C-alpha cells in the first residue's frame, strides 16, 4: 500500500543554495520517489514552527538536513527535538538525515559536538558493520555525500551503531525497528553536491575544497540507500 511520508524541513540559513535547485524536502521526496513512485509526501516547515497535528498524520517521518546546529537555542530547534520525542514515544518510524540524524540522537539523550577533524565534505565511503532487516540488498561499503562539521559523539540509549567512516564513528544508527539515521545525504544529486562544494569554497580553505572536488569523481550510491529507506518505512525487507 502506498505510504504518506512527512518531511520535517529544517534547512534554514542556506536559502541561496536552493535558488537554482529544489529544496531539501523536494530532494528527499524525489529520492524516495525513485524507488517508490506511488508514495505521497507532505512538508512541515519545522524552522517556522510547523509540526504534524495530529502526530500520526503520516505513516512515517523524515527529519532533514540543515546548516543549523542541533545545539543552538533557537525555538524551532527545541520544537523539533520535542516533536522527535513525541514520534518516538508513539512508535512512529523516524528517519534522520545529517542534522536529522544528530537531532534524533540529541532528542533521545545522545550528544552532538564539533568534529575535531573539521569539515567532512564530498563523496565518502561509509562502512556498514551493523545489521537491520531493511538493509537489503546488503552492502558493506557505500559511497555517500557528506557536508558536516558536527557529529554524534555519544548515541542515545538503546541505539545500535550501523555505520561509520574514517572520521565519523557514529555515521548511522538504529533504535529498534522505528528509528534509522544517517549522517550523510542520500537525497542529493551529484550536480547539487558539486554546487554545494563550490559554495563552500567561499568559507573553507582550498585544501578542503580540492579534496572534496576530487572525491566527487566517485558518485554516491544514493538510489541504493533510498531502497533501504523505503524498506525501513515499510517495515520489511524488499
Cell numbers for 118: 573539521
Mean local confidence (pLDDT), 209-222: 95
What pLDDT shows up at residue 13? Answer: 72
Q: What are the pLDDT digits (tens) for 144-160?
A: 999 999 999 999 999 99
Give the chain's domain count: 1
Asked whether residue 237 carries a pLDDT value surpassing 70, the answer given is no
Tell me, what CATH number does 111's domain have? 3.40.50.880
Instruction: Residue 89: count other Cβ atoms within 10 Å of its Cβ.
Output: 9
Cell numbers for 144: 555517500
- Is residue 238 very low, low, confident or very high in pLDDT (cuts 50, 70, 90)? very low
> Does this model's pTM top 0.85?
yes
Residue of 63, 60, 1, 230 lying closest to 134 (CA atoms): 230
| Pairing verdict, β 60-63 and 94-97 | parallel
Dihedral sign of CA atoms 55, 57, 61, 67 in order: negative
Q: What are the pLDDT digits (tens) for 219-236?
A: 899 999 999 999 999 995
Distance, in Å, from the CA atom of 233 to the CA atom of 217, rounded to the nearest integer, reads: 31
Instruction: Tell me what the pLDDT averaged over the chain comes to.
Output: 95
Cell numbers for 133: 532487516
Distance, in Å, from the CA atom of 32 to the CA atom of 222, rounded to the nearest integer, reads: 10
Q: Tell me the residue range of the domain where 205 lies.
A: 4-234
Amino acid at each position: 500500500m502506498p505510504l504518506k511520508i512527512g518531511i520535517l524541513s529544517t534547512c534554514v540559513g542556506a536559502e541561496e543554495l536552493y535558488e537554482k535547485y529544489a529544496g531539501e524536502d523536494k530532494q528527499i521526496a524525489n529520492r524516495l520517489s525513485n524507488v517508490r513512485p506511488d508514495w505521497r509526501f507532505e512538508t512541515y516547515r519545522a524552522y517556522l514552527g510547523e509540526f504534524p497535528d495530529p502526530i500520526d498524520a503520516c505513516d512515517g517521518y523524515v527529519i532533514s538536513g540543515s546548516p543549523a546546529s542541533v545545539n543552538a537555542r533557537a525555538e524551532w530547534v527545541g520544537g523539533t527535538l520535542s516533536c522527535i520525542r513525541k514520534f518516538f514515544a508513539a512508535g512512529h518510524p523516524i528517519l534522520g538525515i545529517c542534522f536529522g540524524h544528530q537531532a534524533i540522537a540529541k532528542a533521545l539523550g545522545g550528544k552532538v559536538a564539533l568534529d575535531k577533524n573539521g569539515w567532512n565534505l564530498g563523496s565518502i565511503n561509509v562502512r556498514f558493520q551493523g545489521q537491520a532487516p531493511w538493509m537489503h540488498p546488503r552492502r558493506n561499503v557505500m559511497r555517500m555525500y557528506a557536508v558536516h562539521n558536527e557529529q554524534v559523539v555519544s548515541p542515545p540509549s538503546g541505539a545500535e551503531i550501523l555505520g561509520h567512516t574514517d572520521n565519523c564513528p557514529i555515521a548511522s544508527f538504529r533504535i529498534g525497528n522505528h528509528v534509522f539515521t544517517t549522517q550523510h545525504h542520500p537525497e542529493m544529486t551529484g550536480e547539487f553536491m558539486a554546487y554545494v562544494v563550490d559554495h563552500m569554497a567561499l568559507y573553507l580553505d582550498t585544501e578542503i575544497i580540492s579534496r572534496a572536488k576530487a572525491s566527487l569523481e566517485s558518485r554516491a550510491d544514493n538510489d541504493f540507500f533510498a531502497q533501504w529507506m523505503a524498506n525501513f518505512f515499510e517495515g520489511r525487507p524488499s
